[in-house]
Amino acid sequence: MVGLSVPTWDPQTALLIGIILAEAVVLYVGYGLIERVVGPPLVRAIRGRRRHVE
């Protein structure tokens, strides 16, 4: 493959990408926890049912 860009090792850039990856994973887990708490009442609100009905 002529012209294929092959990345060379660069610790600073690896750290930069690592920070973005870590932020993504932390946010995924964090929003997942929020989803667990907020999700069920939100779905109930969308369905238009009162909590005690269920």
Q: How many CB atoms lie within 10 A of CB 44?
A: 14
| Cα 45 to Cα 54: distance, rounded to the nearest angstrom | 12
Among 3, 33, 36, 50, binds another protein (CB under 8 A): 3
Q: Which residues contact 51 (CB under 8 A, 6 or more apart)?
A: 41, 44
Among 36, 37, 48, 50, binds another protein (CB under 8 A): 48
Is position 37 an interface residue for another protein (rule: CB under 8 A)? no
Q: Using CB under 8 A, list all residues that contact another protein.
A: 1-5, 7-8, 10, 12-17, 19-21, 23-25, 27-28, 31-32, 35, 43, 46-49
